[in-house]
């Protein structure tokens, strides 16, 4: 496994991306199925998946914050970006590589 996916920050990155995908599935597929095709099961399925992944996201963010030298400000940014559809991908692309590098220098 590549080093970028190991440890508390690596677990957080994986969960963050999974949560981001589930959010896009909920908004991009579940909601149109519910309101466009009158099929509410889409929101129920994707909503439950997203809700579960969001809880795991919060737990892994807390774990990474406590174990990795993440500043509280960075954790708050990660949380806020999780509320925006596509925010997880912006976080992964723009912020997490730099945070991982900062953590390696702090070791």
**pLDDT score of 106:** 46
The rounded distance, in Å, linking the Cα atoms of 61 and 85 is 18
Q: Give the tens place of pLDDT for each residue, 24-57.
A: 999 999 999 999 999 999 999 999 999 999 999 9
**pLDDT score of 44:** 96
**pLDDT score of 103:** 64
Average pLDDT rounded to a whole number, residues 56-74:
89
Kindly calculate the radius of gyration of the chain based on its CA atoms and give it in whole angstroms: 15
The model's pTM: 0.87
Domain ranges of the chain: 3-106
**pLDDT score of 84:** 96
């Amino acid at each position: 496994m590549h080093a970028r996916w190991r440890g508390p920050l690596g677990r957080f990155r994986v969960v963050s991306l999974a949560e981001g995908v589930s959010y896009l599935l909920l908004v991009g597929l579940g909601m149109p199925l519910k309101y466009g095709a009158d099929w509410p099961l889409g929101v129920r399925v994707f909503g439950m998946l997203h809700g579960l992944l969001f809880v795991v996201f919060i737990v892994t963010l807390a774990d990474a914050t406590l174990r990795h030298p993440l500043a509280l400000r960075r954790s708050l940014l990660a949380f806020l970006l999780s509320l925006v559809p596509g925010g997880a991908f912006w976080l992964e692309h723009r912020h997490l590589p730099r945070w991982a590098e900062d953590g390696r220098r702090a070791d």
